[in-house]
Amino acid sequence: MIAFGKLAAYTNRMEAMRMLTEERQQRILTELDRCGVVKLRDLVTLLDASESTVRRDLAELEEAGRLRRVHGGAQRRGLADEPGVSEKAFAHAAAKAAIAQVASTYVKAGMQVFLDAGTSTAQVIPLLAGRDVTVVTSGVDNAKLLADTGLTAIMLGGRIKPTTLAIVGAEAVTTLQRYRFDLAILGTNGIDENGATTPDPEEAATKRLAIARADHALILADASKFGQRSFAQFAELPQAQLITESIAALPAQYRPLPNLKEAQP
């Protein structure tokens, strides 16, 4: 009975700490919405928290894509801002691996597949080793990984974005119009009630056309992407199968979506 009482007290303390963390982080986001930029020392005063606690909150919010840390504080991440490849590669790695495992099961022998640029889609490539498929990609990094894996790969022509190494522009669209796909596998920066979005209109144009040229489309999105919105929409929610790591981890309004596929058993 004593042990149970101690466990209950510990559980209550942990729940209180979790709520305090959520409340602090929400206040940080509210302040960012109001000011655009916040200073670390001001947040310490505002939240009545230690500097190490505030730094930890900022790190967690940055990993979730809610802000960008800068020297001495943080700034709001704009709709057109986009993290680079190296920043994305380490974010939500376990979730991306689980999502990729499910996505790979949709790829069958003999298929023609479009594979979007990005770190989420890159996780799918090693899982396709040994399969008789042709993959067209808009990602420079992904093209190399496809070749290293021994898969038949075609890279779109066009302009290379330095931040994401995605191939975009009129030439990419023209090249894409030559192909038809059994399956398109895409990443996204955000999903809200209106659809899937990305910061770059040119990249959105490539994604939109890939979906139109495919018989079936998958959008790979870990839970942190839901409830987020970027500048350019490329798909409405019913246009693709949405694969995420845990439906329970999503904001409540997205859990009933009929086209959700959960990576966890």
Q: Strands 195-198, 232-235: parallel, antiparallel or unpaired by DSSP?
A: antiparallel
Residues in the chain: 265
**Neighbouring-strand partners of residue 181:** 214
Stretch 61-74: mean pLDDT, rounded? Answer: 80
Radius of gyration of the chain (CA): 21
pLDDT the model gives residue 89? 44
Stretch 62-70: mean pLDDT, rounded? Answer: 76
pLDDT at 143 over 80: yes
* Block residue for tokens 């898969």: 151
83-97, 107-121, 124-138, 159-173: least confidently modelled range: 83-97
More confident residue, 227 or 87: 227
**Cα dihedral sign for 68, 70, 72, 77?**
negative
* Mean pLDDT of all residues belonging to the chain: 87
pLDDT the model gives residue 237? 95
Residue closest to 66 by CA, chosen among 89, 38, 94: 38
Amino acid occupying residue 203: E
pLDDT the model gives residue 82? 53
In the structure encoding, which two tokens stand for residue 50, read together? 């230690």
More confident residue, 91 or 205: 205
Stretch 132-136: mean pLDDT, rounded? Answer: 98
Residue closest to 251 by CA, chosen among 226, 230, 229: 226
Identify the structural domains of the chain with CATH numbers, from first to last: 2-76 (1.10.10.10), 86-262 (3.40.50.1360)
pLDDT at 91 over 70: no
